[in-house]
Amino acid sequence: MIRVSRTAASRIAAALAALALALAASVRAAETASLPPPSAAGQRLFDSARDKLVQLRVLTRAGSSQSTVGSGFLIRTDGTALTNYHVVSLLVMEPQRYRAEYVRVDGKRGAVKLLGFDVVHDLALVQLEGVTQAAHFNLRPEAEPLRQGEKIYSLGNPLDLGFAISEGTYNGIVERRLYDTIHFTGALNPGMSGGPGLDEAGRVIGVNVAGTGGELANLLVPLAYVRALLAAPPPVSPDKTAVTPQLLQHQDAMMRALMGAPFPTQSLGPATVPVGNEKLMRCWGQSNAKPDKPWRTESISCNLQSSLYIEQSFNTGSVRWTHTYRRGEKLGALKFSAWHARSMGGTAAGGEKPSRFLTRSHCNEDFVTMAATGKRSKTVARVSTCVRAHREFEGLFDMSLNVTSVDRDIEGLTSTLELRGVSFANGMRLQQAFVEASGWTP
Amino acid sequence: MDAMSDQSAPVGPGAVPLDPADAHVATASASDANWVFVETLDKHDGLRERHRFLSLPIGIGTAYRNDLILDGDDHRDGLHSAARIVRGDDGGLWVEALDGAPDLWAPGGKTRRWRVDGNASFIVGGQRLRVRTADFVPAPAPRVPVLRGVGSKAWLWALPLALVTLLFEVWIGDLDGERQSVYLTTVFSAAMVLALWAGAWALVSRLTGRVSHFLTHLALAAMAVVALFVLDYAFDTLAFSFNLAIIQKYDYALVGLVIGALVWCHAFLVVRTHARTAAVAAVLVGGALFAFQALGAYNQRGSLASSSTLSVLRPPSLRVATGHSSAEFFSDTATLKLRQRAESSRPEKPEGNDYSFDE
């Protein structure tokens, strides 16, 4: 047995304790060293922005329960602030049921009055009642365009946790979208919508608007649209009657972009199908051909990034289509036709029942023979088009087109086109062009 | 009716209660030509008991002085004689109401005197009766028409045929040929459902008659499955071939029709209920099925059609209708706009959601 004297033991214990303390201190030092130093620019920006930021809360009129929360920022001394349309959409669509209030960084509150909005670019101008002689943000001059890689900052009230600043990078304009949108590489969380995007000088370069679902890949509304909204005459009444003309303009822009030139086409098995302008549309392909299966499918889906938020349960202004080629060599004509038919029926966009926003679906259908052309051999298809009118926005329609070939025993092509929020004439024109661009390759 | 007296020795002037099942044994000779048979019936004119009387008149009532003693009730005098059966001046049998308070109901309504018709019933004191004489020739018993020529063996071909049609349905959706278990499950499930259905009807048959006719009911159910499949397939093919989508959109009514017809066949042809009862049952069951499907369609899409557009295809060789050009198709869509305009101007409250909430 080893005996250790009391003095020796206490010395060893003291030495071990000293060693442990030294280790802990070195770990803390290492941890401190591995974190980036706080951004001085960020700290400075946040300090200077505090008084110009607000949280916007949309509340029920009856119970004052919080319904939506977003951010906003002052842009004029008279208390005019900017935010997103989607933050205050309930004031536009259901003002009889909802009201809004602002909360400043120092906790001061007041009522919010809607001045105007741009539903297409998701912007809204509001008046913060009781705010005068306020400090406000300045816009970055047009003459100083942003450069890719430039450091930018996003401010707002994420998740209703408190005001925050997020550092990131300007990465240009998002590709393949109908309207320009800033690609911000940095954190953006729900609740920051409507907050400002700032450059290092603290000038506004855009407005926080949305995430993309990708980590740190987020979107800001460019300043050009903010300037347009500020320059536009205020609407007579900033309510939902002002939405319709904006949606009509949007669908015009959408149709011009899609139909400005003949549909680009692509091969899909032995078929030729329209795929849309690749600078505008985002398309994805899929194939599940397997050697041990008696059938195979190949499909292409395309959509135009143009959907507009109107209210929590209603988006519009979008276009998407899908082409599916099926082949069932070992199935036989009878079995193949039953399989091919699964893609038919239920063609009405967003369901068929009448809703608050849409009427009941009505459809036309027939066999359509597409004559042979240089790019297409004769094709016979079952074509159906279903239409629903917008109840709230007169002159706009949702349309669904289904084109299913019926002229081959063991192979078939199904194309579907969904249009939301288009005029009747534009919708039918696009559908016809779409049908005429589809068919069997000669 | 007083059951004790019915089961005992002859009552009245030579009354002999007969078991209905033994009725065919009684063969009248020339000397028996005056025998009168009074039959007590249920409310559907089904035979309960048959009593033979050797002489007239025959008193009918609740009192024990009558020849045929009826059950009394709280409101009837225990000495009551309701009616008697006599031979009239014309040589025929007549039933006459007694006591000056007519309680005799014959075809045509309440009466005091009615000439007996061996094919019709009358009511005395709440009891339905029928009178026949020894020379009455009963009509031949109706056969079940559906089994004519094939007897009770129809199930031998109907059941396999029903299972084959159901297997065809599975096969047509089996793209990979990897669903052997589904085929087996389908056969067993279908056989079980058909047997349960036939069993339920067999129970009804047994309760109302003497024979269950299980196999006959089974054959009927199997034939209904085949009919449903064949009609549905034929209608869908017609819809595709001749571009008549409306047929396919509303052919779910077939289910109500076929099942209604099936119920009628079970009830009228096999159970032998009254034609009217069978028809009511058929309409109720068929109508309920139709309403159930129609409401389902309405809840789903706001119209009674099962789908917005044609949703079946057949091989190209079966297509008869020709196609229009795309320009013609799209020039014809103007009506859609008109219909939508009318629709959107309608102050319709949307189905399923309550948007009228006011705070």
Q: Would you say residue A13 lies in a domain?
A: no
Residue A359 has its nearest CB partner, among B311, B315, B343, at B343
Do both A258 and A225 map to the same domain? no
The residue whose two tokens read 């009889």 is A96
Interface subset of A 339-358, CB within 8 angstroms of B: 339-341, 344-348, 351-356
Contact B329 A383 (CB under 8 A): yes
Do both A311 and A290 map to the same domain? yes
pLDDT digits (tens, 9 = 90+) for B147-163: 544 456 888 999 999 99
Do both A278 and A229 map to the same domain? no
Do both B260 and B208 map to the same domain? yes
Average of per-residue pLDDT across B109-117: 88
Q: Would you say residue B175 lies in a domain?
A: yes
B301 versus A174: which is more confidently predicted?
A174
Contact B329 A364 (CB under 8 A): yes
Q: Would you say residue A3 lies in a domain?
A: no
A328 touches chain B (CB under 8 A): yes
Do both B78 and B177 map to the same domain? no
Do both B73 and B16 map to the same domain? yes
Q: Is the pLDDT of residue A182 over 90?
A: yes
Q: How far apart are the CA of B128 and the nearest CA of chain A, in angstroms?
A: 56
A172 versus B356: which is more confidently predicted?
A172
Q: What are phi and psi of A382, to 5 degrees?
A: -90, 115
* B133 contacts B93 by C-beta, under 8 angstroms: yes
Q: Is the pLDDT of residue B232 over 80?
A: yes
Average of per-residue pLDDT across B2-23: 41
**Residue pairs between chains A and B whose CB atoms are closer than 8 Å:** 176
Q: Would you say residue B334 lies in a domain?
A: no
User: What's the domain count of chain A?
Assistant: 3
Do both A431 and A354 map to the same domain? yes
Residues of A in contact with B314 (CB under 8 A): 334, 337
In this structure, how many other beta carbons lie within 10 angstroms of the beta carbon of residue A307? 16
List, in sequence order, every residue forming a beta bridge with A413; answer none if it has no partner. Answer: A325
Of all helices (H) and strands (E), which one includes residue A301?
A: strand A296-304
Q: Is the pLDDT of residue A116 over 60?
A: yes
A333 touches chain B (CB under 8 A): yes
Residue B291: which domain range? 145-317
Roughly what angle, to the nearest 10 degrees, separates helices B275-301 and B253-264?
A: 160
Do both B202 and B306 map to the same domain? yes
Q: Would you say residue A16 lies in a domain?
A: no
Please identify, among B133, B155, B188, the residue that sits at the C-terminal boundary of a domain.
B133
Percent of chain A with pLDDT over 70: 89
Residues of A in contact with B173 (CB under 8 A): 338-339
Whether this model's ipTM surpasses 0.95 comes out as: no
Q: How far apart are the CA of A369 and the nearest CA of chain B, in angstroms?
A: 5
Do both A91 and A167 map to the same domain? no
Q: What is the pLDDT of residue A52?
A: 94
Percent of chain B with pLDDT over 90: 38
Q: Would you say residue B197 lies in a domain?
A: yes
Q: CA geometry: angle at A304 spanning A299 and A310, to 5°? A: 125
Please identify, among A234, A266, A283, the residue that sits at the C-terminal boundary of a domain.
A234
Please identify, among A189, A212, A234, the residue that sits at the C-terminal boundary of a domain.
A234
Do both B62 and B114 map to the same domain? yes
Of all helices (H) and strands (E), which one includes residue A285?
A: strand A281-287
Do both B188 and B298 map to the same domain? yes
Q: Would you say residue B183 lies in a domain?
A: yes
Do both B55 and B202 map to the same domain? no
Of all helices (H) and strands (E), which one includes residue B344?
A: helix B334-345
Please identify, among B317, B337, B352, the residue that sits at the C-terminal boundary of a domain.
B317
Instruction: Please give the mean pLDDT across all residues of chain B.
Output: 80
Q: Would you say residue A63 lies in a domain?
A: yes
* Nearest residue to A300 via CA among A268, A340, A258: A268
* Nearest residue to A170 via CA among A196, A155, A152: A152
Q: Would you say residue A8 lies in a domain?
A: no
Do both A159 and A123 map to the same domain? no
Interface subset of A 355-374, CB within 8 angstroms of B: 355-356, 359-371
Pairing assessment for the beta strands B36-41 and B127-133 based on DSSP bridges: antiparallel
Do both A193 and A261 map to the same domain? no
Q: Is the pLDDT of residue B305 over 90?
A: no
Q: Would you say residue B348 lies in a domain?
A: no
Do both B85 and B153 map to the same domain? no
Q: Is the pLDDT of residue A77 over 80?
A: yes
Please tell me whether residue A244 adopts helix, strand or coil conformation: helix
Q: What are phi and psi of A128, to 5 degrees?
A: -90, 105
* Nearest residue to A90 via CA among A275, A309, A282: A309
Q: Which amino acid is at B75?
A: H
Q: How far apart are the CA of A353 and the nearest CA of chain B, in angstroms?
A: 4
Give the C-alpha separation, A152 to A195, whole Å.
Answer: 13
Do both B104 and B191 map to the same domain? no
Q: What is the pLDDT of residue A374?
A: 79
Residues of B in contact with A382 (CB under 8 A): 310, 313
Residue A161: which domain range? 151-234
Report the Cα A163 to chain-centroid distance in Å.
Answer: 23
Contact A338 B322 (CB under 8 A): no
For the ranges A396-400, B12-16, B68-72, B103-107, which has the lowest average pLDDT? B12-16
Do both A209 and A249 map to the same domain? no
Average of per-residue pLDDT across B287-312: 88
Q: Is the pLDDT of residue B297 over 70?
A: yes
Q: Which amino acid is at A31?
A: E
pLDDT digits (tens, 9 = 90+) for A377-410: 899 999 999 999 998 899 999 999 999 999 999 9
* A152 contacts A41 by C-beta, under 8 angstroms: no
What is the widest separation between alpha-carbon atoms in chain A? 107
Q: b/e string for B136-175 if b means 16 or more Cβ within 10 A?
A: eeeeeeeebebbeeeeeebbeebbebbbebbbeeebbebb
The residue whose two tokens read 């809703």 is A355
A98 touches chain B (CB under 8 A): no
Average of per-residue pLDDT across A322-327: 95
Residue of A nearest to B299 (CA): A353
Residue of A nearest to B297 (CA): A353
* A329 contacts A434 by C-beta, under 8 angstroms: no
* Nearest residue to B124 via CA among B236, B192, B50, B38: B38
Contact A362 B311 (CB under 8 A): no
Q: What is the pLDDT of residue B143?
A: 55
Q: Is the pLDDT of residue A125 over 60?
A: yes
Q: What is the pLDDT of residue B279?
A: 94
Residues of B in contact with A408 (CB under 8 A): 316
Average of per-residue pLDDT across B268-279: 86
CATH number at residue B34: 2.60.200.20
Q: Would you say residue B255 lies in a domain?
A: yes
Residues of A in contact with B352 (CB under 8 A): 353
CATH number at residue A48: 2.40.10.10
Contact A333 B315 (CB under 8 A): yes
The residue whose two tokens read 């020039």 is B331
Token code pair at residue A6: 């009391």
Q: Would you say residue A426 lies in a domain?
A: yes
Q: What is the pLDDT of residue A346?
A: 55
Q: Is the pLDDT of residue B106 over 80?
A: yes
Residues of A in contact with B316 (CB under 8 A): 333, 380, 406-409
- Best residue in B329, B337, B359 for a mutation probing chain A (most A CBs within 10 Å): B329
Do both B94 and B220 map to the same domain? no
Q: Would you say residue B323 lies in a domain?
A: no
Do both A162 and A285 map to the same domain? no
Residues of A in contact with B171 (CB under 8 A): 335
Residues of A in contact with B310 (CB under 8 A): 344-345, 365, 382, 384
User: What's the domain count of chain B?
Assistant: 2
Q: What is the pLDDT of residue A348?
A: 52
A402 touches chain B (CB under 8 A): yes
Do both B37 and B178 map to the same domain? no
Non-local (6+) Cβ contacts of A34 within 8 A are: none
Contact A369 B243 (CB under 8 A): no
Give the C-alpha separation, B261 to B221, whole Å.
Answer: 10
pLDDT band at B142 (very low <50, low <70, confident <90, very high): low
Average of per-residue pLDDT across A240-256: 93
Do both B109 and B240 map to the same domain? no
Q: Would you say residue B299 lies in a domain?
A: yes
pLDDT band at B31 (very low <50, low <70, confident <90, very high): low
The size of chain B, in residues, is 359
Q: Is the pLDDT of residue B359 over 50?
A: no
Report the Cα A210 to chain-centroid distance in Å.
Answer: 6
Average of per-residue pLDDT across B317-329: 92
Do both A210 and A274 map to the same domain? no
Q: What is the pLDDT of residue A123?
A: 96
